[in-house]
Structure 1
Amino acid sequence: MIDTLEQGFFGIGIQNGKTPENLGVLWRSAQNMGASFIFTVGKRYAKQACDTHKAVGAMPYFHYENFEDFYQHLPKGAVLVGVELDEKAVALEEFKHPRRCVYLLGAEDNGLTKNAIEKSHHLVKFDTRLSVNVSVAGSIIMYDRNLKQKFGNL
């Protein structure tokens, strides 16, 4: 019998996302990569025309007015992983993904808020010279998670 608690889960979303295209692409990737849920945080939110797979109909979608509201509603036992170019962030190549976690990406123009960075249990960054598009960043995170899980490194 499979112990479903050991399988884990993950959700992914964007804080103060700027463009609906990026949200739609992230949601499409989330559906393909096995996310348990998707979400947005903040007032910069719009309908996602690029969600061509209709991920919002296939998995739970949550919207939170602000970071405090989001943080209070983290699933019990979930670890918050902020994705941000920050001096305290760990390189993705070295990061061990928690079994039960929520990935929070920052807006394309401003990144994560200071409060989100401070409250994240872990911060992760990529080894790139420049920042990458937020939907690309989320897709890379989920791919890395799936790859490490496949080879027993999760």
Structure 2
Amino acid sequence: MINNLEQGYFGIGIYNGKTPENLGVLWRSAQNMGASFIYTIGNRYAKQACDTHKAVGAMPYFHYDSFEEFYKHIPKSAVLVGVELDEKSVPLETFEHPKRCVYLLGAEDHGLSKEAIDKSHFLVKFKSTLSLNVAVAGSIVMYDRGAKTPINL
């Protein structure tokens, strides 16, 4: 049996997501890959046809109207990891995932806001010149986390 105190936890969410389909696919992946909670900031979608496993009923779902509201509610022991193509981002391949963190993804067309980038403790990116679909990007991050042993931050 896994000891959650040793394992740590993570949540994953989308900032101003574009489509309900992306959100539903991300939720399904989050449930399969061990997320502790899911969330949205800005745009809100209540029911996702792509969430065939009904992740919303299996784990806590939070919605925040703004980044400022979200930032006030990040768990005290967690760090914020933004997923963004940015000059300050480190390659996901070499990134050591914090034991307790919250992953934040932006919509494909606008990415994360400057404020979200500035307030992220870490920024990660993929080997890609163009943005990836948000649900795909989130799934890759969660898979990478599962494939590596999170560090204790």
TM-score above 0.5: yes
TM-score (norm. length: structure 2): 0.93
**Paired AA for residue 125 in structure 2:** K
State the Cα distance separating 1:128 from its structure 2 match.
1.5
State the Cα distance separating 1:5 from its structure 2 match.
2.7
Equivalent residue runs for 1:92-111 within 5 Å: 92-111=92-111
For structure 1, the 5+ residue unaligned runs are: none
Percent identical:
76
Which region of structure 1 is more displaced relative to structure 2, 1-10 or 101-110?
A: 1-10
Residue in 2 aligned with 1:79? 79
Residue in 2 aligned with 1:35? 35
Q: Size of the alignment, in residue pairs?
A: 150
Residue in 2 aligned with 1:130? 130
**Is the 1:83–1:124 contact (alpha carbons within 8 Å) kept by the matching residues of 2?**
yes
**Is the 1:18–1:45 contact (alpha carbons within 8 Å) kept by the matching residues of 2?**
no
**Paired AA for residue 45 in structure 1:** R
Measured against aligned partners, the alpha-carbon deviations of 1:14-57 in whole angstroms (never above 9, x if no partner) come to 00001000000000000000000000001x22232211110000
State the Cα distance separating 1:6 from its structure 2 match.
2.5
Residue in 1 aligned with 2:44? 45
For structure 2, the 5+ residue unaligned runs are: none
CA RMSD between the two structures: 1.5
State the Cα distance separating 1:3 from its structure 2 match.
5.8
Runs ≥4 residues deviating over 2 A: 1-6
SS in 1 for 2:52: coil
